[in-house]
Amino acid sequence: MLILTYVLSIVYIISVNVYAFTLLKNQQKSEDCCEKTRIRDGKLLFTALLGGSVGIIVSSIITKHRSNSMFIMVLMPILAVLNAYMVYLFFSSGMEFLFPTTI
């Protein structure tokens, strides 16, 4: 049961980062094509809070989109460090909060 929880959490982290990567890439496409439906920064922030800040950073570097934005260059590394710390706490605790041992 514990191994399944580890695998599911790794799949979650990867999928959120892939979603964040494609979200920023789609934002660039919508701004280039002058579409009316634009992806808002709030959606990017929410995705970063859920664990996708690394995907947003990588996407902004690869696509060179919003590379001078203070939102991306200042807030996303802070959220990336916070996300990495939360993942570290999650895996280092042995998930005792999910499966408490009773004596």
Q: Which is higher by pLDDT, 85 or 31?
A: 85
Give residue-wise pLDDT tens across range 2-11. 788 888 989 9
Give residue-wise pLDDT tens across range 44-87. 889 999 999 999 989 988 988 776 778 788 888 999 999 999 88
Residue 35 neighbours by CB under 8 Å, 6+ apart: none
d(CA 39, CA 87): 27
In this predicted structure, the answer to whether residue 35 has a pLDDT above a threshold of 80 is: no
Number of H helices, E strands in the chain: 5, 0
d(CA 12, CA 1): 17
